Amino acid sequence: MIGASRNSLALVQGTLRSRSGQGDLSALSAELLAAADVLAGEKSLRQNLADSGQPSAVRSALINDVFGSKVSALTVEVLGEIVAARWSSDTDLVDAVELLGSQAAFVAADKAGSLDRVESELFHFGRAVQASSELQMTLTDPSLSAQTKSAIVGDLIGSKVDSITLGLIRHVAGHLRGRRVDSVLETLGNLAAEQRNQVVAEVRSAVSLDANQTSRLSAALSKITGKNVRINVAIDPSVLGGISVTIGEDVIDGSIAARLESARRSLLA
């Protein structure tokens, strides 16, 4: 998101955080994700709700007309606040509703003491998707319904992960809207980290890191970024030595492979 949408998203995310002590957040999450699905499939509806030329009271009334009898009063209030904000496009509005649904799930996980587990499970499922072309093709197959993809996810991980993780991944699998599965899961991982004022560092290493190495690396990256850093380690034999660290769009590559590639480019220059 850019411009007005980015500012509006920050505003409504703050509003949701202020409501963290209200109501059933797991139910709020499920209802917001379901609402995002409805809006994604109803172009005329989402365009009317995203039309800043309409008074916010009119847009909020439309939310009540469409969703008032189907979801909780809290969900109607949150949806009303979302549509009252200004969005650069109607698709940004859908993305915002979906993001707040995911954020509500992370707040619920945090309150239940399971946020670490949920964040880790999202990361590892994302790695599994990257490693399996068959799984990628299945989850992005337009001929398969959302229900079928949800069932596939349930069969794969239903008995192995937290219920919040399962709900989020099932939603992602059935509602990609042209996005990459691993990209959406990465966004969710970053959103989970934000719940605790953290950033996520994806570390690629040829060998696993022990607890002491992970702790030292986290401390060093925290000094660089000025934020608490959560480390997710992915074993990658192609690294050849050292580590490669990605935080958002920033890459810190200290691997032998990177140094060899740098030397090769220097020789060819």
Q: pLDDT means per 10 residues in the chain (269 residues)?
A: 85 85 90 96 95 91 95 95 93 96 95 92 92 93 94 95 96 93 90 79 82 85 79 79 76 63 56
Region of residue 207 (phi > 0: left; psi between -120 and 50: alpha; otherwise: beta) = beta
Domain ranges of the chain: 1-112, 113-196, 198-268
- What is the helix (H) or strand (E) element at residue 231, kind and residue range? strand 228-235
Which amino acid, 24? Answer: D
Residue 87 · residue 8 · CB < 8 Å? yes
Rounded distance, CA 130 to CA 249, Å? 18
Q: pLDDT value at position 262?
A: 60
Q: Which long-range contacts (CB under 8 A, 24 or more apart) does 186-193 make?
A: 186/126, 188/102, 188/122, 189/119, 189/122, 189/123, 189/126, 189/232, 190/248, 191/99, 191/102, 191/103, 191/106, 192/106, 192/109, 192/115, 192/118, 192/119, 192/122, 193/119, 193/230
**pLDDT on residue 87:** 94
Using the structure block, give the residue that is written with the tokens 């993809």: 149
Provide the token pair at 115: 């946020």
pTM greater than 0.85 (yes/no): no
Q: Please, are residues 115 and 230 in contact by the beta-carbon 8 Å criterion?
A: no
Instruction: Check: CB of residue 58 under 8 Å from CB of residue 17.
Output: no
Which of 3.30.70, 1.10.287, 3.30.360, 3.40.30 would CATH assign to domain 198-268? 3.40.30
